[in-house]
Structure 1
Amino acid sequence: MFASVSSTATNIQARRDITFLVLAGFFLGTLGMLNILGLTRFLQLGQLGSWPIVVAVGALPYPVTFLCTDLISEIWGEYKANQLVWVGLLLNGWIILILWLGGLLPSLPGSDDITFRTIQQLSFGTIGASMVAYLTAQFIDVKLFHFWKRLTNGKALWLRNNGSTLVSQLVDTTAVVLISHYGAHVLPIRTDAPLIPQLGSFIVGGYLFKLLAALADTLPFIWLTGWLRWWLSIPEDKTKLPGSFANDRQSTTETR
């Protein structure tokens, strides 16, 4: 009997571990795509009224990062979600290091240096912009998620999902566009047209894409949260995952 209980607990913990790794993997992998593909190509996905929905190819999967942090916030707690955000920052630094090192070391004669230098230039501009926007937006997302969770006493799952993501996405989009232009000068700006309307178009178009993606992931988020609570054997008490670092840290503080 005891062996059966122990085996069940081990299986549940294994599920929790692999689920966290999958969510973290999607989060970090998406950041990597954003920084490498970045601003290499801009896509027009449609038009809403007079505003074209324009998004950089590297930003296509970016809304997935907010879905991942929302799921981790809901299941593992704020502390664990913030840990993942910091690991993402380290990933950005690692990418910068490799791109810098790759450009510093001598290349083999006949290598396509032009392609590498173009990717390096665009990536440096993207990462410089995204690191500031990323930290600000992700921490705002995590903080607002738990603000709405406390305010509603763990209810209104749709509200904390959208209420955190829509605000943080606006901060992220605005910061990326402004820093990409004024700090890195990597946006495809037309010199024969006024600057402000072009920057506004990039911000509005990018935010419209992220807004629509955020609204579209509301039902998947609610379903995934319920399914994960069942599959990971998490009680419906709106608390953090038993045994998470957040709980361990809180228990240690209370013991002291």
Structure 2
Amino acid sequence: MNFMFFLLLALVNFLLISLSYKFFGKKGVIAFVVLSVIAANIQVNKLVIFDFFGYEIVATLGNVMFGGVFLATDLLSEKYGRKTAQGAVHISIFANVSFVIVMFIASLFNGIADSSSFNEAIDLFFSLNGGALKAVLVGNIVYFMSQSLDVYMYQKIKSKFSSYKTLFIRNNGSTLISQFVDSVLVSVGFALVGIFDWQYLVDIIITTVLIKYIVALLDTPFLYLMAKIKPLKDE
């Protein structure tokens, strides 16, 4: 069932990005980038098993949300240019770090016994040894590098393949390169800080690349759709 949930999450995520763009334009897409980065850095702490045609593979959650970020920045590159797309990356990094800082301070409070389960949940993710804190420290560095590469590659490919028909070339071309770099660097980084054990490293790199490539192919129709959408509100 995990693979079915993966497909469901991907389709819902891309649909929400499309609706956010339709209703709120550029600001809506940037807001969704912020949401996706925060959600992905929490989800990445959960390891799941996917069954691909009888083969079981271990992967981290968060790949779909990060895939949505690449879709969103490709849309911003397509419609508003490199500066806007890069700006969305900077805003999302600032928002993500800010979120973890305020949640870390929240973990310092002594909660009453009646809220013990919530206290433990906050501490599990946002204390000094929490998974989300480690994920942000590593993830934001890698995220900045891979997203900057994606934005750069998108514009380079667009300079040669700029028509609406070749949208899939610049979308998938930039994403496949940058997602590979992202998957390798972030997996090594997460193993270094103890988010998962080194014994899972190779499997997670392979499965992360595979899943992100599937996500990249799934998001292509949505990019074609959004390229034609006229937002209700935009600047």
Q: Same fold by TM-score, threshold 0.5 exceeded? A: yes
1:25 partner amino acid:
A
- Whether the aligned pair in 1 keeps the contact of 2:23 and 2:231 (CA below 8 Å) is no
Does 1:69 pair with 2:79? no
C-alpha distance in 2, partners of 1:49/1:150? 42
SS in 2 for 1:107: coil
Please tell me the root mean square deviation across aligned C-alpha atoms, in Å. 2.5
| 1:70-94 alpha-carbon deviations (Å, 9 max, x no partner) | 1111001111111101001101211
State the shift of 1:172 in Å: 1.2
Q: CA deviation at 1:158?
A: 1.1
Find the residue that maps to 2:112 and give its secondary structure. Answer: coil
CA separation in 2, counterparts of 1:89 and 1:45?
Answer: 29
Q: 2: CA distance between counterparts of 1:224 and 1:147?
A: 21
SS in 2 for 1:152: coil
Per the alignment, residue 91 of structure 2 pairs with 87
Superposition TM-score, scaled by structure 2 size: 0.79
Per-residue deviation, 1:46: 2.4
Number of the residue aligned with 1:38? 44
Q: Aligned match of 1:173 in 157, 163, 183?
A: 183
TM-score (norm 1): 0.73
- Residues 138, 186 of structure 2: 8 Å contact kept: yes
Between the aligned partners of 2:225 and 2:195, the Cα distance in structure 1 is 39
1:4 is matched with: none
Tell which structure's C-alpha radius of gyration is larger: 1
Equivalent residue number for residue 139 of structure 1: 148
**SS where residue 62 of structure 1 aligns?**
helix
Tell me the SS of whatever aligns to 1:55. Answer: strand
Q: What corresponds to 1:215 in structure 2?
A: 217
Structure 1 residue ranges without an equivalent (≥5): 1-14, 190-194, 234-242, 245-256
Distance 1:111 1:215, change over 3 A: same
Change beyond 3 A, Cα 1:153–1:20: closer
1:222-246 per-residue CA deviation (whole Å, 9 max, x = no partner) reads 2321x22xx269xxxxxxxxx97xx
Matched residue type, 2:185: A
Q: Distance in 1 between matches of 2:162 and 2:174?
A: 16
Q: In 2 relative to 1, CA 153–31 (structure 1 residues): closer, same or farther, beyond 3 Å?
A: closer
Query: Which of residues 27, 47, 50 in structure 1 aligns to 2:52?
Result: 47
Q: 1:37 deviation in Å?
A: 2.9
Deviation of 1:49 after TM superposition, in Å, equals 8.2
Equivalenced residue count is: 208
Q: Report the Cα distance in structure 2 between the residues aligned to 1:48 and 1:65, rounded to whole angstroms.
A: 28
Q: How does 1:103-252 map to 2 (within 5 A)?
A: 103-112=107-116, 113-120=119-126, 121-154=130-163, 156-182=166-192, 184-187=193-196, 189=197, 195=198, 198-225=200-227, 227-228=228-229, 231=230
Query: C-alpha deviations, 1:116-144, integer Å up to 9, x for none?
Result: 22122111121112111110111111000
2:107 maps to amino acid:
G
Q: CA deviation at 1:55?
A: 2.9
Amino acid in structure 2 at the alignment position of 1:65: V
Shift of 1:27: 1.4
RCO greater where, 1 or 2, for CA within 8 Å and sep 6 or more?
2
The runs of 5 or more residues in structure 2 that have no matched partner are 1-20
